[in-house]
Amino acid sequence: MARNTQVNADHNAPPITQTLARFVATHPSRGWSDAVDHEAHRTFLNWLGCAVGAAHHEAAEAALAAVQVLEPAPQATLAGRTERVDIASAALINGISSHTFDFDDTHLKTIIHPAGPVASALMALAEKTGASGRQVIDALVLGIDVACRVGNCIYPDHYDRGWHITGTTGMLGSAAACSRLLGLDTEKTAMALGIAASQPVGLREQFGTMTKPFHPGGAARAGLMAALMAQQGFTASPRAIEAPRGFAQVVSPKCDWNEINGELGERFEISFNTYKPFACGIVIHPSIDACAQLRERGVKAEDIERLELRVHSLVLELTGKKEPVDGLQAKFSVYHGCAAGLIFGRAGEPEYADDIVNRPDMVALRRKIVATVDDRIDEAAVEVTAVLTNGTSIALRVDHAIGSLERPMTDAMLARKFHDQADPVLGAAQVEALIQACWGLGQAGSVQALVELARLRS
């Protein structure tokens, strides 16, 4: 028997689905500043480097093996691999790869990783439709705007409830981006958003398993299929996002509609996207940064008598693992991050290999680190004092780690990060050409050349 009970429903929500659809369908190409357009290129490049880097991880291998049961048509490229699969499956697999190392982008206000769902769907679809690079960049900016604005509307309550917000807003970003790329009108774009709204993908309980990176992949696929279905006349509620029993109100007790409507077409959320320099949780980044700075000042591991950290309590709560025994545990160890910063000056995926984690000099240095909690220090900051064997000491403070909005990674750093991840897969020469293709994407008449460079030649 149908029931009509719903607590605290907001029956007067503005027409969010329609507003977003019109924005996505009609906003002018490159209708934003050069800075926004450049950030879109940085976002795409960072995403692709991550996808190539994890292309042969066992998560991608297992997902691809399942997809192969479907005998997919060879329509679209898998970054860093030889196989081609249908576009929906390519969106899935590339989305999984791009998030596997948790090394992709972060929209800090919502902790959404926006490129995974959006770019993974776009690259697959663009390869099939023969889209221009400009169309891809346009769709990327608009799709990420949709996902992050919906995220702003429901964060933090939605995330606190247990949803993995990357995959539970990402299907809307993917649907928006793919609708734009397909040239759908406002009405059909609204239908695509509506079909996607019924398919949030992601629970925080999955963190630490392969299903975590599945979330952006699943969202990419769901949004892509939603756009294809809308194109063919499939219908959904035109108020699917905002209605009392629509997406936002169902998945979050907090719905701030102004976060979606405010400054739409003027403020672009991709402007606030950030990229991780280090392959671990963002809470460790200031400490790694500080230790890498010590190294730049000439401090060596063997000079260290004791390394003192003062950090916010959250840092030790989340990453207080003192004696990690493998790479997975090391990701949750601020001690390991500091040791890597001081010994290697970096903490990429290679510095989380099991043999590095267990190297005697790393173990020894980790044991010299003493962390103290001080909640007067911001979560994004750290104070480090290196007490040296010669009796002197060096102190420094990091207020914003490299990679933050205040101290963004430079383009050169992003290219270096790309090489670090992708060279072992594709070789340095192909990777360099691929990086250049990413920087030039907005000017490219087609995505074909870039896609060819992203593929592993057999």
**At closest approach, how far in Å is the CB of 206 from a copy of itself?**
5
Which C-beta is closer to a copy of itself: that of 120 or that of 430?
Answer: 120
Q: Which residues contact 262 (CB under 8 A, 6 or more apart)?
A: none
Please, is 302 exposed, middle or buried when counting C-beta atoms within 10 Å of its C-beta (0-12, 13-18, 19+)?
A: exposed
SS3 309: strand
Of 122 and 453, nearer to a copy of itself (C-beta) is: 122
Closest-CA residue to 257 (of 82, 25, 17)? 17
CB neighbour class for 111 (10 Å; exposed up to 12, middle 13-18, buried from 19): middle
Nearer to a copy of itself, 1 or 429 (CB): 1
CB of 415 to a copy of itself, least distance (A): 27
Q: Measure the CA–CA gap between 453 and 410, rounded to whole angstroms.
A: 23
Q: Are 162 and 204 in contact (CB under 8 A)?
A: yes
In the complex, the smallest distance separating the C-beta of residue 96 from a copy of itself, rounded to whole angstroms, is 9
Query: Between 228 and 309, whose beta carbon lies closer to a copy of itself?
Result: 228
Distance CA 17, CA 22 (A): 9
Which CB, 40 or 148, lies closer to a copy of itself? 148
Question: What is the three-class DSSP state of 286?
Answer: helix
Based on C-alpha coordinates, what's the Rg of the chain?
22
Closest distance between a copy of itself and the C-beta of residue 434, in Å? 26
Smallest distance from a copy of itself to CB 366, Å: 22
Of the two residues 1 and 412, which places its CB atom closer to a copy of itself in the complex?
1
For the CB of residue 431, give the shortest distance to a copy of itself in the complex, in Å.
28
- Report how far Cα 77 is from the mean position of its chain's Cα atoms: 20
